[in-house]
A and B are shown apart, each in its own frame.
Chain A
């Protein structure tokens, strides 16, 4: 009973602290990742990306340092993670397509989740310097030292575009160019005679819609991931600024850290799952033939 009251009191105190603080100002994570060089197209999210890659590679190297046929320790963990995702995708795509595409889908999933979680490390996106107006000396912006890799639209768009190109390659190599076009434009179902003549323009129109849908997919993929991760980081940062006392900045954001842990996982899964589903939709016939 006492603990329930205490929890309620803490919750109310926390909520009451939000109201006045929401109106407060403070720096926010900029939408664009600042360039680190005037000559090379490098920004701080790329640094975070390569740190993420380094973490994955180090983990995998440590796990596979002394590979044994009967796994134990870190190798067991790595294989469990790997096999779980492989089995999940195999259930969705089938054995043939999974074997062919796992190098991309698996890498993308582990890359996104690692980069998402790295962005939650205190300091990433929050530690940086304020930019001052040279003439007035006023704060005109904030540049974080590091930025969550997926909180950069250029990164998520690059992932979506890479997938889109691979999607075309896999779709055409699985169905053939004729089969690929037929998959989009040809009438589905067993039509004959006058019905076929009537259905051709309908399915041509459906094909045009399908093409639009295919072109929209990378945009949806990139903005979904970017929006969720950037929004999450922005939320955490704004919530931290709600507390007037800088030593208590962490307090309002603390519950949302758990939400962001979930979001980081869900967004990695959604991106990978959608890529797999788009692939399955176009390679469906091809995959059945292989079986």
Chain B
């Protein structure tokens, strides 16, 4: 290049026949630089800007997509964890309820047994009292009958003392 340029500089030299000329060459260099600048500014600048803008949007969109996917995965993971936790909680609650129901049922049964026992005791007491009352009434009636029978058999009029004595003797014999 330098040789050729030197040859050209020294006159038309090697390049002269091809139409090379220094003033035109420098003019074309300036011309070409202007061409490139004009094309950059007015032709390709806006297109490149739009493409870079679109590329940036695509990159941004992809990043957003990745973020959304990550969030979705996290969310699914969290949901699964929450569901698992809820399942565990529900199982625990059911177990507790079951245990609680069992213990309640036992307590209720015990209570029922106690109540039944009390009723039974009361019934027994009532029966015993009633029997004692009937026995007392029977004794009283029996005393009257024995006193009346004794009075009729002996023909004697019995006073209260005799009646009490005859009653006690008759009852002592019946009870023995």
Contact = CB atoms under 8 A, between A and B. Distances in A.
Interface of A: 30-33, 35, 40-43, 46, 49-50, 53, 56-57, 59-61, 63-64, 67, 69, 71, 78-79, 82-83, 86, 102-104, 106-108, 110-111, 152-155, 157-159, 161-162, 164, 215-219, 226
B1 A31 contact: no
Contacts of A152: 19, 24, 28
Contacts of B27: 40-42, 46, 154
Interface stretch (B40-48, B138-146, B147-155): B40-48
Name the prevailing secondary structure of the B interface residues: helix
A159 B47 contact: no
Nearest to A102: B48
Contact of A57 (B31, B43, B54): B43
B36 interface: yes
Interface residues of B, number: 35
B26 A107 contact: no
A68 B117 CA distance: 94
Contact of A107 (B1, B18, B44, B54): B44
B57 A69 contact: yes
A46 to B, nearest CB: 6
A107 B36 contact: yes
Interface of B: 1-2, 4, 15, 17-21, 23-29, 31-33, 35-36, 38-40, 42-44, 46-48, 50-51, 53-54, 57
Contacts of A71: 50
A104 B48 CA distance: 13
Listed residue (A40, A69, A106, A217) with the most chain B CB atoms within 10 angstroms of its CB:
A106
B28 A154 contact: yes
B32 A57 contact: no
Contacts of B1: 164, 215-219
A271 to B, nearest CB: 12
A64 B32 contact: no
A60 B21 contact: no
Given A78-B47, A162-B32, A216-B1, A33 B38 contact: no
Contacts of A111: 35-36, 39
Nearest to A159: B32
Listed residue (B15, B43, B46) with the most chain A CB atoms within 10 angstroms of its CB:
B43
Nearest to B35: A53
Contact of B47 (A82, A104, A153, A226): A82
B25 to A, nearest CB: 5
